Amino acid sequence: MTENSSASTVRLTVAEAMVRFLIAQRTKVDGVEVPLFPGVLAIFGHGNVTSLGHSLEQHRDEIPVWRGQNEQGMGLAAAAFTKAQRRQQIMIATSSVGPGATNMVTAAGVAMANRLPVLFISGDTFTSRLPDPVLQQVEHFGSPSTTVNDAFRSVVRYWDRITHPAQIISSLPHAVATMLDPADCGPVFIGLPQDVAADAFDYPVEMFEPVVHAVARPRPDIDQLAAAAALLRSAKRPVIIAGGGVHYSLAEAELAAFAARTGIPVVETVAGKSSLLADHPSYAGPVGVTGAEAANAVVEQADLVLAIGCRLQDFTTGSWTLFDRETSFIGLNAARFDAGKHRAQPLVCDAREGIVELDAALADWSVSAEWQSAHRVERENLDAFIESRIADDHAWPPSYAQLVGLVHESATPADYVLTAAGGLPGELNINWRSKGIATFDCEYGFSCMGYEISGAWGAAFARSDGQVYSMVGDGSYLMMNSDIYASVISGKKFILVVCDNGGYAVIERLQVGQGGASYNNMLKDSTGTGSEVRVDFAAHAAAMGATVLTADSLASFRTALDAARAADRTAVIVTSVRDSDWTEGGAFWQVGVPEVSDKAEVRQARASMDAGLARQRKGV
């Protein structure tokens, strides 16, 4: 590194300049200035170790680097970290080019679907092409500038390959702005070719001066606000759907106050769960396919839906069959794309500021006592249903719901619970009653199996208080488990509950429920001669250094939870669980059932599907 005589520039390698720039980015969390990029999850290879890795080592006191075990796991941990931080800080994930890079593509998809900022930096092939083909390079005969890193284009908000040292002067600020934009927020990819990463350039010194970022809070347009307020005033049975945008805007307190004053019932999406505490008088439960029948009953009666920070995914809308055809929508969302879905009256703004201004525009308006009474009856039905599901029926193995009930009983308001994919999202979404705000993460935007363990590791970086609980099925555990070891060596503890039901039971449920035969999902009917062999999950987790506990009764499971909380490292509780005892939600879901079939069961399933589709709301 050299500086010129006027000290207006400093000569650095591209890798060094990137690291210094990232360190200089700051933000405020709860009024305290902190790094915008608090750490790097890395697996080094020949494409990123000699330049980027060297620079990171030189700045290890300013930006710590944590060793991952799998590149996909690192990306999932980074996404879970920023979810737990409600998008206030951003983790970096870096790999070499080749399989390391392509491993991260799935994690980028998770971040993209869930609107989460993650910075992916991958090595790339030489821009000079003189040593081509290099180790791990996939050649495209008719497109020599294409590399495997182009695979990221469909799963990031901002994509760039640095082919000249000067490019990072403009590219890096654009990348940061994208990750902080409330409307376009999402993951960013930067490809860093090996030769360019090592090249030096005279960079302006102001590029490395600290910058404290504040996320913009756009206010609503006056006319859109007036139109939304008029719609609400005319509604008889309005409902609020709270989505993930409530968390990302830190709008939970404003939502609680608005709902309490107006009496509007609030249902939550999977991403929006824990926007309200379960004991809030307006809380009506989880909505949709993985929601509760009682909460869906409230939505089905609604003549107006105020969707706040919600992208209206099919699991939220029951594939657009959950609403009356005459129901009107207001889309309060920072993203114009989401705000206007299904001919909604758009209210394009920050969630927190939009709620505050909408509340003021409504003055003393509130819903009728009859509507408040109606949704409270359904809330009582929901509580009674949950109690029936989590109750001990003195049979073993237990249901998912019973295990969720015991974890919930053990948890404090400071604890954080996480899951993804399979049967657990429905079980936790319905049976978990939030004790703390922003204490729930179910990755159901991309529904990525394997998120449960890596995501728990990432959440543990973000949570300074309480415990992180993760519940995982045997199928997801087998897909990705090495971050148990990553958590042990990094000292980032979580409590993992491994629920072994002998296969991909929730998909088998769908397979059989739509007229098919059980085939290749449960271990007992998998193709092969060794399907009777079972994995010893306890021994496997112990081999990775975790504290391991097992349960053979609900009493011993409760004891194991206490021991796991007291453990000094990641604790894994292994238990069997029933393979076909599910908590029903009651909403329709559209899947592809064959239109013609020789099987009567499939024809019957198709007829049921067609009947459901007859209720589907057509929209854009």
Q: In the beta sheet, which residues pair with residue 333? A: 348
Q: In the beta sheet, which residues pair with residue 478? A: none
Q: Which residues contact 510 (CB under 8 A, 6 or more apart)?
A: 591
| pLDDT value at residue 405 | 98
Residue 552 has pLDDT above 90, yes or no: yes
Place of tokens 């600020």: 173
| pLDDT value at residue 7 | 75
For residue 270, CA distances in Å to 26, 226, 288, 431, 513 come to: 30, 30, 9, 12, 23
**Cα 492 from chain centroid (whole Å):** 19
Please report the domains of the chain, with CATH numbers, ordered by start residue. 2-213 (3.40.50.970), 222-382 (3.40.50.1220), 391-576 (3.40.50.970)
Pairing of strands 40-42, 92-95: parallel
Residues 550, 560: Cα–Cα separation, whole Å = 7
* 8-state DSSP, 90: -
Sign for the pseudo-dihedral over CA of 484, 43, 54, 35: negative
Averaged confidence pLDDT in the chain: 96
Residues 497, 557: Cα–Cα separation, whole Å = 10
CB 346 within 8 A of CB 331: yes
Residue 260 has pLDDT above 80, yes or no: yes
Q: pLDDT class for 617, splitting at 50, 70, 90? A: confident
| pLDDT value at residue 610 | 94
Residue 600 burial class via C-beta count within 10 angstroms: exposed 0-12, middle 13-18, buried 19 and up: exposed
> pLDDT tens for residues 329-383?
999 999 999 999 989 999 999 999 999 999 999 999 999 999 999 999 999 999 9
557, 559, 562, 567 alpha-carbon torsion, rounded to 10°: -90
Residues 531, 544: Cα–Cα separation, whole Å = 25
Q: Respond yes or no on whether the N-terminal peptide bond of residue 133 is cis (omega within 30° of 0).
A: yes
Q: Is the backbone of residue 7 left (phi > 0), alpha (psi -120 to 50) or beta?
A: left
Give one DSSP letter per residue of 5-19, joined into a string. Answer: TTSSEEEEEHHHHHH
Residue 4 has pLDDT above 80, yes or no: no
Residue 102 has pLDDT above 70, yes or no: yes
> pLDDT tens for residues 110-120?
999 999 999 99
Angle at which helices 424-431 and 369-390 pack, to 10 degrees?
Answer: 120
Cα angle 48, 53, 54 (rounded to 5 degrees) comes to: 125
CB 123 within 8 A of CB 103: no
For residue 2, CA distances in Å to 8, 49, 201, 529, 538 come to: 11, 22, 10, 66, 55
Q: What token pair was written down for 173?
A: 């600020």
For residue 400, CA distances in Å to 80, 223, 431, 507, 511 come to: 23, 48, 10, 15, 20
Pairing of strands 345-348, 440-443: unpaired
Cα angle 564, 424, 533 (rounded to 5 degrees) comes to: 80
| pLDDT value at residue 3 | 58
Sign for the pseudo-dihedral over CA of 251, 254, 257, 262: negative
Q: What token pair was written down for 551?
A: 């349960």
Element containing residue 148 per DSSP (H, E): none
Q: What is the 3-state secondary structure (H, E, C) of 523-551?
A: HHHCCCCCCCCCCCHHHHHHHCCCEEEEC
> pLDDT tens for residues 156-176?
999 999 999 999 999 999 999
| pLDDT value at residue 116 | 98
| pLDDT value at residue 531 | 75
| pLDDT value at residue 449 | 96
> pLDDT tens for residues 566-613?
999 999 999 999 999 999 988 999 999 999 999 999 999 999 999 999
> pLDDT tens for residues 119-160?
999 999 999 999 999 999 999 999 999 999 999 999 999 999
Residues 150, 105: Cα–Cα separation, whole Å = 10
| pLDDT value at residue 513 | 92
Give one DSSP letter per residue of 247-304, joined into a string. Answer: HHTT-HHHHHHHHHHH---EEE-TTTTTSS-TT-TTEEEE-STTS-HHHHHHHHT-SE
Cβ-based neighbour number of residue 587 at 10 Å: 25
488, 490, 493, 495 alpha-carbon torsion, rounded to 10°: -50
| pLDDT value at residue 608 | 94
- Determine the residue type at 53: G
Residue 528 has pLDDT above 90, yes or no: no
* Greatest CA separation for the chain: 84
Residues 438, 414: Cα–Cα separation, whole Å = 10
The phi, psi pair for 326, rounded to 5°, reads -90, 0
CB 468 within 8 A of CB 495: yes
